[in-house]
């Protein structure tokens, strides 16, 4: 089996501040989806939800605020799954709750580096 990273993105205009109650409400579909991946033994690493703040380091010692300073999307988080093919990984990602929020899932194969 190969490993794939799923990167969860949402348009910054679709990312309002949520109350704790709203966070709890949107967490349920994520738990269900991740639970279904775990039940299929497809999860390698649950990953994490990423904070909105950060910095981007560029060549020539340039540092900008925010990891998404030049794009209209924010990276919400990631997980690493295993699948036999890219097509299977894409199918698994189609159940991701970020899609219902107007976001998207980037599916990328992980290339293992030789030691």
Could you read off the pLDDT of 85-106 as tens digits, one per residue?
999 999 999 999 988 888 889 9
3-state DSSP helix/strand/coil percent for the chain, to nearest 5?
Answer: 30, 35, 30
- pLDDT greater than 70 at residue 16: no
- 58, pLDDT greater than 90: no
Asked, for residue 115, whether it belongs to a domain, the answer is no
Domain that holds residue 63: 2-109
**Looking at the predicted structure, is the pLDDT value of residue 40 above 60?**
yes
> How far does CA 67 lie from the centroid of its chain?
14
CB atoms within 10 A of CB 111: 7
CATH number at residue 64: 3.30.70.1060
Cα–Cα distance between 8 and 83 in angstroms, integer?
A: 18
């Amino acid at each position: 089996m190969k490993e794939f990273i799923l990167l969860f993105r949402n348009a910054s205009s679709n990312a309002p501040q949520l109350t704790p109650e709203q966070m709890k409400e949107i967490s349920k579909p994520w738990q269900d989806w991740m639970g279904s991946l775990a039940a299929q033994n497809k999860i390698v690493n649950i990953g994490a939800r990423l904070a909105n703040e950060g910095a981007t380091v560029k060549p020539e010692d340039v540092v900008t605020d925010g990891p998404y300073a030049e794009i209209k999307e924010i990276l919400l988080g990631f997980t690493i799954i295993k699948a036999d093919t890219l097509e299977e990984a894409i199918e698994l990602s189609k159940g991701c709750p970020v899609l219902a929020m107007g976001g998207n899932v980037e599916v990328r194969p992980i290339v293992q580096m030789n030691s």
